[in-house]
Amino acid sequence: MNKNDFAPLPPMGWNSYDYYDTTVDEARVRANADYMAAHLKDYGWEYVVVDIQWYAHGAGSMRNRYQYIPFSCLEMDEYSRLLPDPKRFPSSSNGAGFRPLADYVHGLGLKFGIHIMRGIPRQAAHAHTPVKTRGFSPSAGNTSVSASGAAVTAADIADPSSICGWNPDMYGVRNCAEGQAYYDSLLELYASWGVDYIKCDDICNTNIYPHNPYSARHEIEMLSRAIQRCGRPIVLSLSPGPALIEQANHYKTHANMWRITDDLWDKWSDVLQMFARCELWQDHVERGCYPDCDMLPLGRIGGGFGEGQERSTNLTREEQRTLMTLWCVFGSPLMLGAEMTKLDDWTLSLLTNRDILAMRTPDCRPRQLFRTAEEAAWTACNEKTGEIYVAIFNLSDKERTVSASDPALYEAAGAAIPCALGRGADETLVFTELWTGRGYPAPNAALPPHGCCAFRVGR
């Protein structure tokens, strides 16, 4: 199966990180899955993703000192593969792993995902625990062996010079056959659990090495090969960003989505910088391959980052609409970071606007029409249905009238817009604004600070 068949649309779902950080547990994952199935599934939301350190004992217990406790005990099997912490994920006990939780999520008609760090646990390398290779024979009762018959341990494939700058759990994996076998064994395990989505971290941009930010290139390839071999369609998401534009074809060959920014939070400055990043990546949005604008910091977030840190998003309602509009017209994946059981009606309406979500199909080719310090405009034309979308944005701190009615804008951008928008155009054209349903004679509007309008062009 071609990997692009794994994600025919940009993935939509929930990720535990923005609310829970390292502290999410099974009960909370199930509660959020229940909410998604009841309120969001019908709108295309389907992935439930357990983020970082699901394998770490005591994760979050020293949050006043560490985000990631240095060299804490990690739950691990006999082949150097991380397992869920049974204290937080009790159904994983007795070797069950994430299979029971994945079965629960699948039973709701949803899909299940996990976060992983690239590499192999340092704990395994230091203890010289075995690595399962293709030459291993369980019936023989022996240790893992390479094709040559020599025993292989985590220490043999770990690269202690390849580390993550912000998480202490892993060493990189050497580019060797035994390293590939280790990744194959990981995907064998994840497939047996029923995993549908993997977010791999410290791999898209290894930013601890500024002179070699793509030092994990071979591990991307190993992971991609392991997914192809595991017999299960698993979406591959690469983090953190910013992704390297010169590696665009490599990302597209080996992954389904890749982060084009570092962690994005609920600050207008974070949203604003995404206009330039989306322009940089607009030519690389296609079926199965999606530049990723990062998670949606909406609703209630921050609950796992320390006592008293839970908050409602700091983005204004206008800024939240701008974020959703840009992510959708650009064709980014959508991963919600909120505690879904605490969503208010307004935020739920933001996430369930079918007209806005319809822009996300890879049949739409996104194109920035213009961008200044004060305003921007994007367009997209659905190549299959012929539907045309135009989005205008006020990037300034004051109310501003923004216009995208000049046909020269579309010609200069090379946008596939069949109507001339004023140059001999049919005067019956109607521009329906997708957030309000209001009709406009042209894609022009007076917008509040940081506000937007998104139009569908019709007759």
Q: What is the CATH number of the domain that holds 24?
A: 3.20.20.70
Whether 346 and 395 map to the same domain: the answer is no
Pair 294, 263: CB distance under 8 Å: yes
The separation between the first and the last C-alpha atoms of the chain, rounded to the nearest angstrom, is 41
Whether 142 and 242 map to the same domain: the answer is yes
Whether 349 and 447 map to the same domain: the answer is no
Pair 13, 86: CB distance under 8 Å: no
Whether 147 and 199 map to the same domain: the answer is yes
- Give me 353's structure tokens: 């606007």
pLDDT, one tens digit per residue, over 418-428 is: 454 554 455 57
pLDDT, one tens digit per residue, over 162-178 is: 999 999 999 999 999 99
Q: How many CB atoms lie within 10 A of CB 137?
A: 9
Whether 133 and 100 map to the same domain: the answer is yes
Average pLDDT, integer, range 363-373: 94
Whether 35 and 108 map to the same domain: the answer is yes
**pLDDT on residue 150:** 59
Q: Is the pLDDT of residue 345 over 50?
A: yes
**pLDDT on residue 1:** 41
**pLDDT on residue 408:** 84
Whether 292 and 327 map to the same domain: the answer is yes
Q: Is the pLDDT of residue 251 over 70?
A: yes
How far, in Å, CA of 162 to CA of 239, rounded?
A: 16
Side-chain half-sphere of 429: how many Cα atoms within 13 Å?
A: 21
**pLDDT on residue 142:** 40
Q: Is the pLDDT of residue 458 over 60?
A: yes
Domain end: 362, 393, 408, which one?
A: 362
Q: Is the pLDDT of residue 185 over 80?
A: yes
Q: What is the CATH number of the domain that holds 394?
A: 2.60.40.1180
In degrees, rounded to 5, the angle at the alpha carbon of residue 153 between the alpha carbons of residues 191 and 229 is: 25
Q: Of all residues in the chain, what percent carry a pLDDT higher than 90?
A: 84
Domains identified in the chain, total number: 2
Whether 102 and 171 map to the same domain: the answer is yes
**pLDDT on residue 95:** 94
Q: Is the pLDDT of residue 362 over 80?
A: yes
**pLDDT on residue 70:** 93
Comparing 408 with 81, the larger pLDDT belongs to 81
Whether 149 and 218 map to the same domain: the answer is yes
How far, in Å, CA of 269 to CA of 335, rounded?
A: 20
**pLDDT on residue 431:** 93
How far, in Å, CA of 136 to CA of 105, rounded?
A: 32
Domain end: 362, 392, 409, which one?
A: 362
**pLDDT on residue 137:** 41
Q: In the structure, what pLDDT confidence band is assigned to residue 78 with cuts at 50, 70 and 90? A: very high
DSSP per-residue string spanning 175-232: SSHHHHHHHHHHHHHHHHHT--EEEEES-S--TT-TT-TTTTHHHHHHHHHHHHHTTS
Q: Is the pLDDT of residue 368 over 70?
A: yes
Whether 291 and 429 map to the same domain: the answer is no
Q: In the structure, what pLDDT confidence band is assigned to residue 4 with cuts at 50, 70 and 90? A: low
Q: 432: domain range?
A: 368-458
Q: Is the pLDDT of residue 140 over 50?
A: no
Pair 136, 109: CB distance under 8 Å: no
Q: Is the pLDDT of residue 86 over 80?
A: yes
Comparing 135 with 134, the larger pLDDT belongs to 134
Q: Is the pLDDT of residue 416 over 80?
A: no
**pLDDT on residue 306:** 75
Read off the DSSP letter of residue 445. E
Average pLDDT, integer, range 392-405: 97
Whether 358 and 395 map to the same domain: the answer is no
Q: Is the pLDDT of residue 315 over 90?
A: yes
Q: Is the pLDDT of residue 144 over 70?
A: no
Q: In the structure, what pLDDT confidence band is assigned to residue 325 with cuts at 50, 70 and 90? A: very high
Q: Is the pLDDT of residue 212 over 80?
A: yes
Average pLDDT, integer, range 345-362: 96
Domain end: 327, 362, 397, which one?
A: 362
**pLDDT on residue 407:** 83
**pLDDT on residue 414:** 73
pLDDT, one tens digit per residue, over 19-47 is: 999 999 999 999 999 999 999 999 999 99
Q: In the structure, what pLDDT confidence band is assigned to residue 406 with cuts at 50, 70 and 90? A: confident
Q: Which of 374, 357, 344 is CA-nearest to residue 454?
A: 357
Pair 444, 431: CB distance under 8 Å: no
Q: In the structure, what pLDDT confidence band is assigned to residue 76 with cuts at 50, 70 and 90? A: very high
**pLDDT on residue 139:** 39
DSSP per-residue string spanning 358-416: GGGSTTEEEEEEEE-SSEEEEEEEETTT--EEEEEEE-SSS-EEEE---HHHHHHHT--
Whether 281 and 396 map to the same domain: the answer is no
**pLDDT on residue 3:** 57
Average pLDDT of the chain, as a whole number: 92
Comparing 385 with 39, the larger pLDDT belongs to 39
